[in-house]
């Protein structure tokens, strides 16, 4: 099929005295195509191709009726194949599947409605998994719904004691507590959804006690609906791309891997200089400035030390007499890291 531009070019080259073979080389087509075009004296017109008859054609009306009667459900192609074979169909399932696929109505996407919250109203929390196994590495991510200021804690497990400790550090870093915190279905927060009826969930007793102590309400997002907590979900991807992958690549060049001590030391700097200092694309403001100027005054004050009865929170035998029971759950990363932190800092400076 020749385009109008190629047709004009063939005619011009012919007027300049070029041979048919030379014209074919110039425009990139066969010599016979050039000869046929010049013999016609005008650009060829192409109409729609005639539809080829198929073995399935005689059964198309039946297939449309069957799928229409099954709405809003759908009959698999394998079932329809058995039915039309009983009526004499001799073809295969490939063309049947292609035809049936064209009958399926296009799914109607739900309109994306961005849900914004007032200052101090909501924080969204999620885990990010980087490694499993004996050398596990996870990140606790929290993002304020209004200012988009975020905080990150790298840990080696996702137990309830670790979750509470991450909340403690996050509240201290952000300067207060929001009135609501949004979670997915993590078992350290909710044990069973709708246990006693619609919206009446059975929460993890330890974490529920901690939430009451701090003064925030636990909110759960809809199952299999990540967009419900889209603010922290987008931050999770940003953390992986902008922080973790570059750091892991630098350490890999030196034959090292990211451990929890190094990750926490480096992520503090990244949060301060990059994540919370950038101009946020949605709000059009710098998250940390928006937190300090507008949202922090609306946060609830920090609660006193929580004295929950979980093994990690009980006072140690070496605690000084009369010392108040404070949350003593420390990261399992207290075990010796791969190398002293100074080694990583020196390597990062050399690689950079």
297-312, pLDDT tens digit by residue? 999 999 998 887 665 4
Contact of 277 with 291, CB cutoff 8 Å: no
CA 272, 278, 283 angle in degrees (round to 5)? 125
pLDDT of residue 315: 46
Q: Are residues 18 and 165 in the same domain?
A: no
155 part of a folded domain? yes
pLDDT tens per residue, range 56-103:
989 999 999 998 888 888 899 999 999 999 999 999 999 999 999 988
Average of per-residue pLDDT across 216-244: 84
Q: Are residues 195 and 259 in the same domain?
A: yes
| Residue 193 reports pLDDT greater than 80 | yes
User: What residues make up the domain containing 13?
Assistant: 4-40
Average of per-residue pLDDT across 173-193: 92
Q: Are residues 318 and 248 in the same domain?
A: yes
pLDDT of residue 47: 63
| Residue 313 reports pLDDT greater than 70 | no
Q: Are residues 90 and 231 in the same domain?
A: no
Q: Are residues 267 and 346 in the same domain?
A: yes
Ramachandran area for residue 114 (φ above 0: left; ψ -120 to 50: alpha; else beta): beta
pLDDT band at 230 (very low <50, low <70, confident <90, very high): confident
52 part of a folded domain? no
Q: Are residues 145 and 34 in the same domain?
A: no
Q: Are residues 176 and 128 in the same domain?
A: yes
Angle of helix 93-103 versus helix 77-86 axis, rounded to 10? 120
pTM of the model: 0.60
pLDDT of residue 45: 63
pLDDT band at 105 (very low <50, low <70, confident <90, very high): confident
Q: Are residues 36 and 61 in the same domain?
A: no
Domain count, the chain: 3
95 part of a folded domain? yes
294 part of a folded domain? yes
Q: Are residues 82 and 181 in the same domain?
A: no
Within 10 Å of residue 243's Cβ, how many Cβ atoms?
A: 20
pLDDT tens per residue, range 45-67:
666 777 778 899 899 999 999 98
Q: Which two tokens stand for residue 294?
A: 């507008």
CATH assignment at residue 320: 3.30.420.10
């Amino acid at each position: 099929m020749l385009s109008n531009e190629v047709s004009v070019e063939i005619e011009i080259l012919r007027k300049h005295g070029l041979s048919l073979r030379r014209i074919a080389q110039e425009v990139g087509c066969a010599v016979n195509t050039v000869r046929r075009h010049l013999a016609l004296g005008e650009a060829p017109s192409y109409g729609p191709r005639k539809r080829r008859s198929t073995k399935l054609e005689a059964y198309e009306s039946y297939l449309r009726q069957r799928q229409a009667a099954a709405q809003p459900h759908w009959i698999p192609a394998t079932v329809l194949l058995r039915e039309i074979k009983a009526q004499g169909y001799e073809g295969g399932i490939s063309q049947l599947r292609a035809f049936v696929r064209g009958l399926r109505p296009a799914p109607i996407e739900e309109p994306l409605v961005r849900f914004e919250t007032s200052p101090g109203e909501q924080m969204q929390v999620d885990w990010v998994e980087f490694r499993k196994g004996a050398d596990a590495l996870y990140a606790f991510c929290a993002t304020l719904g209004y200012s988009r200021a975020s905080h990150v804690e790298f840990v080696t497990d996702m137990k309830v004691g670790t979750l509470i400790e991450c909340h403690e550090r996050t509240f201290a870093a952000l300067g207060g507590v929001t009135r609501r915190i949004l979670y997915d279905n993590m078992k350290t927060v909710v044990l069973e959804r709708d246990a006693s009826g619609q919206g009446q969930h059975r929460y993890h007793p330890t974490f529920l006690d901690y939430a009451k102590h701090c003064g925030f309400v636990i909110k759960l997002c809809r199952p299999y609906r990540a967009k419900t907590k889209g603010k922290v979900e987008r931050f999770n991807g940003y953390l992986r791309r902008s922080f973790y992958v570059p750091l892991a690549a630098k350490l890999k060049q030196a034959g090292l891997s990211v451990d929890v001590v190094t990750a926490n030391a480096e992520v503090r700097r990244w949060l301060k200089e990059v994540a919370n200092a950038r101009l946020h694309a949605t709000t059009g403001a710098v998250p940390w400035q928006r937190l300090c100027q507008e949202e922090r005054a609306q946060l609830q004050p920090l609660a006193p030390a929580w004295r929950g009865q979980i093994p990690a929170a009980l006072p140690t035998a070496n605690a000084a007499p009369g010392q108040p029971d404070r949350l003593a759950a420390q990261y399992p990363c207290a075990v010796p890291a791969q190398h002293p932190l100074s080694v990583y800092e020196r390597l990062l400076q050399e690689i950079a």
